[in-house]
């Protein structure tokens, strides 16, 4: 099934006029792929899809969840977490409070990665963690802190690289058991996060496209990894403006490995390693 430019525009317009969602500034290429899949999975043509959007609010929520990308893992890109642990967080150790925002947190593995590092550094108690996403289903899973063991087994290697090993001193090794932070039940194919970290974050549904800072605090660190890659240039600039205004001076923004700040906002952040510091 081929999605034409007209089909695409009809879809965007129907969502914008029939719901609170506006995808007009998302990357057209990636959104067209998702629209093609939605039509195929639901066995609809574009006219039937538009009709359902106009008349079925539950269906709108369903397809919005299908549009949003939810890819994450525990300690994804260990080198980024090495930077967080050894270069970024140490600068904040004398703060009375540390505010961290995970924007587009998906199912929460990134949030738990941060919580584990904070606890290992003795910073967990004075840190406030906020985690937001457009998709309420993934927020529910993040709050539950339960994941498939077989699907996530490879992430235990990431845990070892970030939590147990020191890449700057290979003679150091921290013998920290997985059970300190999560229970593994192989027979039930489950990993369950420990309550003391599971109950720490504040989760909230949030639309980066249409909403400002609904958390009403400023931040020392904002993580928004592998989200803006799905936005066009204008929307990226809008989101960078939101982040810039809500970071403390010298606060930092952490993006995905293949994301960068372009255009006018590139001069408002200074890149150091894996982080962009507010200028």
Tens-digit pLDDT profile for residues 157-178 = 999 999 999 999 988 999 999 9
What is the C-alpha separation between 242 and 50, in angstroms, rounded? Answer: 32
Tens-digit pLDDT profile for residues 128-139 = 999 999 999 999
* pLDDT number for residue 69: 64
Q: What is the mean pLDDT of residues 34-38?
A: 90
Using pLDDT thresholds of 50, 70 and 90, give the confidence band for residue 48. very high
Tens-digit pLDDT profile for residues 52-74 = 999 999 999 888 888 876 668 89
Residues of the chain with pLDDT > 90, as a percent, come to 78
Give the residue from 25, 26, 8 showing the smallest Cα distance to 230: 26
pLDDT higher than threshold 90 for residue 275: yes
Whole-structure pTM value: 0.84
Pick the more confident residue, 195 or 2: 195
| Residues 47 and 224: beta-carbon distance below 8 Å | no
């Amino acid at each position: 099934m081929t999605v034409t430019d007209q089909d695409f525009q009809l879809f965007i317009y129907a969502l914008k006029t029939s719901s609170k969602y506006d995808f007009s500034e998302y990357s057209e290429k990636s959104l067209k792929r998702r629209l093609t899949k939605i039509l195929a999975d639901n066995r609809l043509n574009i006219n039937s899809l538009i009709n359902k959007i106009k008349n079925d609010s539950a269906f709108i929520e369903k397809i919005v969840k299908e549009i949003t990308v939810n890819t994450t893992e525990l300690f994804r890109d260990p080198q980024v977490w090495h930077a967080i642990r050894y270069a970024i967080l140490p600068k904040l150790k004398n703060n009375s409070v540390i505010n961290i925002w995970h924007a587009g947190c998906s199912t929460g593995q990134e949030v738990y990665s941060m919580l584990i590092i904070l606890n290992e550094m003795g910073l967990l108690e004075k840190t406030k963690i906020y985690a937001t996403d457009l998709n309420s289903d993934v927020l529910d899973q993040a709050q539950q802190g339960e994941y498939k063991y077989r699907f996530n087994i490879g992430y235990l290697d990431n845990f070892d690289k970030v939590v147990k090993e020191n890449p700057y001193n290979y003679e150091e090794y921290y013998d920290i058991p997985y059970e300190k932070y999560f229970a593994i039940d192989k027979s039930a194919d489950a990993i369950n996060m420990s309550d003391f970290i599971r109950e720490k974050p504040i989760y909230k549904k949030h639309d980066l496209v249409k909403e400002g800072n609904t958390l009403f605090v400023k931040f020392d660190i904002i993580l928004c990894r592998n989200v803006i890659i799905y936005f066009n240039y204008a929307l990226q600039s809008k989101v960078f403006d939101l982040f810039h205004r809500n970071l403390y001076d010298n606060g930092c923004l952490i993006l995905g490995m293949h994301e960068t700040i372009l255009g006018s906002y590139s001069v408002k952040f200074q890149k150091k390693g894996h982080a962009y510091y507010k200028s």
